[in-house]
């Protein structure tokens, strides 16, 4: 899968979050998240989901093509590289 990504700046302590533009909607991307702990919120007008695995947290709108990925502070580079390698392989 091809993607673009850019760091997101926010006001949280030690934030290490990037936004990824994907060629598919969140709902379709969700099917690739086997093994992730997924929480969907369908009560929102535009439903979203949060997925977690090994300290990596993903957030996305089911109908959107942007995914936010937050990486754990102590090994963010390794986790980011692993996540991006996994994304490329999709």
Partner 1 sequence: MIYLNNAATSWPKPACVAQAVCAAVAEPPGESSRGGLQRFDVFQAVRQALCPVLGVKEPEQIALGPNATWALNLALYGLDLKPGEWVLATAAEHNSVLRPLNDLAARLGVRVEFLPCGPEGRVPLAAWQEALLRLRPRLAVFTHASNVTGAAHDAAGFCRAAKAAGAAVLVDLSQTLGFLPVALEEWGADLAAFTGHKYLLGPQGTGGLWVRPGLSLRPHLVGGTGVRSELSYMPGEMPLRLEAGTGNEPGFAGLLAALAWAAEHPLDRAAVHASLCALRQGLRAAGARVIEPEGECTPVVSFTLPGLPAAELAYALYEGEGVVCRTGLHCAPRIFPCLGVKETVRFSLSRFTTAEEVLCAVRAVEAAKG
Lookup result for tokens 């993607």: 3
Residue whose CB is less far from partner 1, 44 or 88: 44
41 in contact with partner 1 (CB under 8 A): yes
Among residues 81, 40, 25, 79, which one has the least CA distance to residue 56?
A: 79
Neighbours of 42 (CB within 10 A): 8
68 in contact with partner 1 (CB under 8 A): yes
CA pair distance 49, 16, nearest whole angstrom:
19
39 in contact with partner 1 (CB under 8 A): yes
Residues numbered 2-31 forming contacts with partner 1, rule: CB under 8 A: 10-13, 15
Residues found near partner 1 in the complex (CB under 8 A) = 10-13, 15, 39, 41, 43-48, 50, 59, 61, 64, 68, 70
């Amino acid at each position: 899968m091809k993607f673009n990504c850019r760091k997101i700046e926010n006001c949280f302590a030690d934030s290490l979050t990037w936004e990824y533009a994907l060629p598919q909607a969140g709902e379709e991307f969700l099917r690739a998240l086997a093994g992730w702990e997924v929480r969907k919120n369908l009560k929102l007008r535009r439903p979203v989901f949060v997925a977690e695995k090994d300290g990596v947290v993903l957030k996305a709108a089911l109908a959107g093509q942007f995914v936010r990925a937050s990486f754990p502070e102590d090994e963010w580079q390794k986790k980011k590289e692993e996540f991006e390698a996994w994304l490329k392989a999709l």
